[in-house]
Structure 1
Amino acid sequence: MRIGILQTGHAPDEVRGTLGDYADMFKRLLDGQDFEFQTFDVVDSVFPKGPGEADGWLITGSRHAAYEDHDWIAPLEALIRDIAASGKPLIGVCFGHQIVAQALGGRVEKFRGGWSVGRQVYDFGDDELALNAWHQDQVVELPEGAQVIAESDFCPYAALVIGDNILTVQPHPEFDAKMVAALIDHRGEAVPDELLEAAKAGLTKTTANDQMAERMAAFFRKGAK
């Protein structure tokens, strides 16, 4: 099964040589699932011809906001709508979660409650999963037909299923402790010090990245056409 990764941002320059870019992190996360990957740097305006270029699609995180005025945002939203209509499975993570919701009629904004960084616990109904987060923006209005499948006290729309072929999650199952530490060091200037310290304290605690990877892989396989 070929997964097309729509890369909407880049990891900090300081760590890209050791940890790779965002697409590389997802490849590691889903390693062993018998997937092939092709990356499209949509943040640099490199787009696939259409949904048919892959069996499933994945949208990464980004330091950009879904509501910002970038040349690549509108084409990405159009591609999201095309993928949704095609029936091919689509997974969005963090920015991917937000841009999918926005493209399909929801609303994203800078959350008045501030930032969520580091290890957080999310209620998935059947289980509680600890995953790393790094965001200030949130989905605040759901697109039509969206079902909330995970929440936290800070993030009520932490994961969504839309129709039969779209899964989105706000936290980052592809981020390990090394990546969170890198974000603290290189992209933490806007985050309050107390939140950075709490994130540092959580670096030694386990996360459910592997469990989330299994859920994502199962979603891709179930939706493949």
Structure 2
Amino acid sequence: MKTPLRIAVLECDTLKYGGYGRVFKVLLDAGADALRMPDVVSSKRGLEISKWDVVNEQKYPALEDIDAILISGSRHSSFEDIPWILKLVDFTKKILEQDRIRIIGACFGHQIVGRAMGVKVDRSDAGWEISVTPMELTAKGKDLFKQDSLSLHQMHRDIVYEYPEGVEELGASPRCSVQGMYAKGRIITVQGHPEFNQQIMTDLLETRHAQGIFNDELYEDGMARAGKHHDGVAVSSAFLRFLLED
């Protein structure tokens, strides 16, 4: 795919710090600079990022105006049959039916892709997976992310239960066996939140603890890992390599 890469961030929830569109722009800029390909793409050239509120406004980009969609995280459950989620699943299916526009998914977005491809998405029997969490990578995961292991911020209790047909496995954690999916020229997804940082994670942990969603033990465990190293930029670079590959 040639630059500029026109990436539409589908915002599936509200988020402080300027929303998912802004935090993903920061992440993608960092990932572009880490590629060290300034003549092709960097934080200063080669990226055109737009954002779309698919929850309240339910607006979507025209397909001829974009090269990729990036489906964000959300507090909502991807398996719910509510109008905006059904519309998002239908839009994702529409993208999957063509061969030019590519799909990136993170957390809820990863699950939406799984649902659109016909596999089970539901609550995990293992419960919440939160904060910086290491995962084991498959051979394909190591190849895509250019490292032998990966740690990412997690904030989910829903999972994709199996890999869709034609999709390569990228990795697994003790609480989630489907941590990433890849199909050349079509999709790349991660269950984690590469766009999160310590501040965002801490805010979420404190809010959900105050709301009674997280008990003391879960909250303290998450807080103890919120500041650990995570590989969000490496994942961002992998996203961009995926978009650039022929």
CA deviation after TM superposition for structure 1 residue 140, in Å = 1.0
Partner residue in 1 for 2:91: 79
Instruction: Compute the RMSD of aligned alpha carbons.
Output: 1.6
Partner residue in 2 for 1:107: 120
Give me the identity figure in percent.
32
**TM-score calculated relative to the size of structure 2:** 0.83
- Change in Cα spacing, 1:41 to 1:70, as seen in structure 2 (3 Å) is same
Give every structure 1 segment of 4 or more consecutive aligned residues whose post-TM-superposition deviation is greater than 4 Å.
none
Matched residues in 1 for 2:80 and 2:199: separation? 29
CA deviation after TM superposition for structure 1 residue 162, in Å = 3.5
Matched residues in 2 for 1:154 and 1:51: separation? 36
- Is 2:185 aligned against 1:164? yes
Q: Confirm or deny: 8 A CA contact 1:97 1:170 kept in the other structure.
A: yes
Matched residues in 2 for 1:50 and 1:165: separation? 18
- Is 2:243 aligned against 1:186? no
- Change in Cα spacing, 1:199 to 1:49, as seen in structure 2 (3 Å) is closer
Give the total of aligned pairs. 217
Give the partner amino acid of 1:82: K
Q: Confirm or deny: 8 A CA contact 2:8 2:61 kept in the other structure.
A: no
Q: Equivalent of 2:173, from 152, 157, 160?
A: 152
- Cα deviations by residue, 1:55-106 (Å, 9 ceiling, x for unpaired): 1110000000011132111221111111112222110100000011001101
**TM-score calculated relative to the size of structure 1:** 0.91
Q: Confirm or deny: 8 A CA contact 2:185 2:245 kept in the other structure.
A: no
CA deviation after TM superposition for structure 1 residue 50, in Å = 4.0
Q: Confirm or deny: 8 A CA contact 1:145 1:162 kept in the other structure.
A: yes
Matched residues in 2 for 1:191 and 1:220: separation? 37
Q: Equivalent of 2:11, from 7, 10, 20?
A: 7
Q: Equivalent of 2:233, from 196, 210, 223?
A: 210
Q: Secondary structure at the match of 1:68?
A: coil
- Cα deviations by residue, 1:130-155 (Å, 9 ceiling, x for unpaired): 11000000011332222211111211
CA deviation after TM superposition for structure 1 residue 119, in Å = 0.6
Q: Secondary structure at the match of 1:160?
A: strand
Counterparts of residues 9-28 of structure 1 (less than 5 Å)? 9-11=13-15, 16=16, 19-28=17-26
Matched residues in 2 for 1:97 and 1:130: separation? 17
Matched residues in 1 for 2:150 and 2:241: separation? 17
Q: Confirm or deny: 8 A CA contact 1:107 1:141 kept in the other structure.
A: yes
Matched residues in 2 for 1:49 and 1:36: separation? 13
